[in-house]
Amino acid sequence: MNNNQTVGVLGAGSMGSGIAQIAATQGHQTILVDLNEAALAKSEASIQKILARLVDKGKIDQAEADTIFGRLKFTSDITDFEGCGIVIEAIIENLEVKQKVFAELERITGDTCILASNTSSLSIASIASACNKAERVIGIHFFNPAPLMPLVEIIPAVQTSEETKDTARGLIDGWKKVTVLTKDTPGFIVNRVARPFYGEALKIYEEGVADFATIDWAMTELGGFRMGPFTLMDYIGNDINYTVTETVFAAFYYDPRYRPSFTQKRHSEAGWYGRKSGRGYYDYAEGVTMPEPNKDEKLGTTILNRVLVMLINEAVDALFLNIASKEDIDLAMTKGVNYPKGLLKWADEIGLDNVLSQLETLQSEYGEDRYRPSVLLRRMVRDNKTFY
Ligand SMILES: NC(=O)c1ccc[n+]([C@@H]2O[C@H](COP(=O)([O-])OP(=O)(O)OC[C@H]3O[C@@H](n4cnc5c(N)ncnc54)[C@H](O)[C@@H]3O)[C@@H](O)[C@H]2O)c1
């Protein structure tokens, strides 16, 4: 794959639009296809606006903006993908629809064209199974907003060839993204390891330990996270975040570690999605003052530690199960969701024995499998080892 090859992007929503912008900026002729003309028009206008802003800020000049925009073709005709070197799919998150589309992409494109999916939660193996040449199918998972977030997860399915994997990763590395290699398992790295950031925070709230504002304060002020869990869930949308949690929970055969929360379900059912609906855990109506946190340091530390050890446990378990390398697990969380530190590095710093003993206390108090420490954590403490 080189810059002379055309990149196809299917789906001109928030992700597809961002991915097409990246490909065109990196010098590729880029074809953006959507069935919905309104989505195409919106994407075209939004990319134009972003390029104009980059010109205003002096990041690129007008000629460059024109060149980038000139490389983009917006169309509703999927057969335009015929000569593409790669097609990245970013349509609705529905397996049957994606399978149908991949079978169609295989008929339209040449034999060597890589077919990639930006899915957040579906298995790449099941998408690839719709193709005769499943070895050319791979997951390439960008984060939102794609042009700004450096991380991209590369997910070969069991069917994916080494050549497809290497070519796809090489291409995205060439786009100056930080790629991490992950197994085709639910949530890949980020959406798996990050679950307790939401789930444990919600549980802490449900138990009446603290309110939303206090938990958010503890995680940002004491933990150094850029956004607190409730602010972040309101930003992502409670409908979307709840669905991801439910999908991951079911995909892990109902492991209690990933159990969704009624609080989030009710907020979603009420239409309290967050910023996009004007109300979530917080009220975003004009003139409403945000609730004040209880800045009790002892309480804040208890909250932070409980969420942090659960996050670390998840990261350790992902390493234990060979989902990704320790470097990639830490990179994924710092570059994909802006964590202040890699979780395995963080674990070394606060002491693995300390993490283990906090988890053991939670597990014995609650009597719940949710808090079971990873076997790898136990072994490392026993052998007096650190990750780095
Ligand atoms: N939004 C995120 O934060 C995020 C992050 C990473 C990955 N993803 C994944 O990216 C994909 C797209 O998400 P999004 O948020 O951009 O969705 P979106 O709803 O903003 O956009 C989807 C677009 O696909 C189009 N579409 C639907 N079916 C189509 C078809 N058969 N052919 C052509 N176009 C079709 C729709 O018209 C729409 O414009 C999903 O698989 C999602 O899981 C989303």
At 215-255, the pLDDT tens digits run 999 999 999 999 999 999 999 999 989 998 999 999 999 99
Q: Supply the pLDDT for residue 121.
A: 86
Distance (Å) from CA 135 to ligand 1 centroid: 23
Q: Give residue-wise pLDDT tens across range 71-107.
A: 999 999 999 999 999 999 999 989 999 999 999 999 9
Bond preceding residue 229 cis, omega within 30 of 0 = no
Write the pLDDT tens digit of every residue in 135-194: 999 999 999 899 999 999 999 999 999 999 999 999 999 999 999 999 999 999 999 999
Question: Would the pLDDT of 3 be above 80?
Answer: no
- The CATH code for residues 7-181 is 3.40.50.720
pLDDT level of residue 4 (50, 70, 90 thresholds): confident
> Could you tell me which of 342, 279, 303, 338 has the C-alpha nearest to residue 217?
303
| Percentage of the chain exceeding pLDDT 70 | 100
Cβ of 210 below 6 Å from ligand 1: no
Say if strands 137-142 and 114-117 run parallel, antiparallel, or are unpaired: parallel
Segment 12-44, tens digit of pLDDT = 999 999 999 999 999 999 999 999 999 999 999
pLDDT at 259 over 80: yes
- In b/e form, how buried is each residue of 229-258, taking b as 16+ CB within 10 angstroms? bbbbbbebbbbbbbbbbbbbbebbeeeebb
The per-type count for the chain, helices as H runs and strands as E runs, is 17, 8
Atom of ligand 1 nearest to the CA of 100: 31
Report which protein residue has its CA nearest ligand 1's atom 33.
34
Q: CB of 190 within 8 A of CB of 151?
A: yes
Closest ligand 1 atom to the C-alpha of 93?
41
Residue 70, number of CB atoms within 10 A of its CB: 10
Say what the pLDDT of residue 382 is.
Answer: 98
Q: What is the pTM of this model?
A: 0.95
Closest of 287, 74, 333 to residue 182, by C-alpha: 333
- Pick from 141, 134, 250, 257: which is nearest to 194 by CA? 257
CA dist 160 and 172 (Å) reads 17
Instruction: Find the largest Cα–Cα distance for the chain.
Output: 64
Residue 155 one-letter amino acid: I
Ligand 1 contact, 35 CB (< 6 A) = yes
Quick one: pLDDT band at residue 331, thresholds 50, 70, 90?
very high
The finding on whether 153 has its CB within 6 A of some atom of ligand 1 is no
Which residues are the active-site residues? 120, 141, 153, 191
Does the beta carbon of 15 sit less than 6 angstroms from any atom of ligand 1? Answer: yes
Query: What per-residue confidence (pLDDT) applies to 119?
Result: 95
Q: Is the per-residue pLDDT at 324 higher than 80? A: yes
Closest CA to 339 of 320, 312, 313: 312
CATH of domain 192-382: 1.10.1040.50
Classify burial at 319, counting beta carbons within 10 Å of its beta carbon; exposed 0-12, middle 13-18, buried 19 or more. buried
Q: Is the pLDDT of residue 272 over 80?
A: yes
C-alpha 253 – ligand 1 centre gap (Å): 26
Cα distance between residue 151 and residue 211, in whole Å: 32
Report the chain's C-alpha Rg in angstroms.
22
Mean pLDDT of 112-127: 96
Query: Measured between alpha carbons, how far is 6 from 12 in angstroms, rounded to an integer?
Result: 17
Ligand 1 center–CA 365 separation, angstroms: 43
Query: How far is it, in rounded angstroms, from Cα 305 to Cα 297?
Result: 12
Nearest Cα to Cα of residue 321 among 311, 309, 313: 313
- CA 93–ligand 1 middle distance (angstroms): 7
Residue 362 half-sphere exposure, CB side, CA atoms within 13 Å? 24
Mean pLDDT confidence for 319-332: 98
Cα angle 344, 236, 183 (rounded to 5 degrees) comes to 45
Which amino acid does the sequence have at 307?
Answer: V
Confidence tier at 325 by pLDDT (50, 70, 90): very high
Task: Report the alpha-carbon distance of residue 19 to residue 13 in Å, rounded.
Answer: 10
Mean pLDDT computed over 48-60: 97
Question: Domain spans of the chain?
Answer: 7-181, 192-382
Atom of ligand 1 nearest to the CA of 117: 41
Task: Give the pLDDT confidence score for residue 185 in this predicted structure.
Answer: 96
Range of weakest confidence among 46-50, 243-247, 371-375: 243-247
Query: What's the whole-number mean pLDDT along residues 65-76?
Result: 98
Please indicate whether residue 11, judged by its CB atom, sits closer than 6 Å to ligand 1: yes
Cβ of 91 below 6 Å from ligand 1: yes
The token duo for 109 is 């494109």
Ligand 1 centroid – CA 13 distance (Å): 5
* Average pLDDT rounded to a whole number, residues 205-221: 98
> What are the tokens at 230?
């409730």
Residue 1, pLDDT score: 74
Does any ligand 1 atom lie closer than 6 A to the CB of residue 122? Answer: no
Topology match between the domains 7-181 and 192-382: no
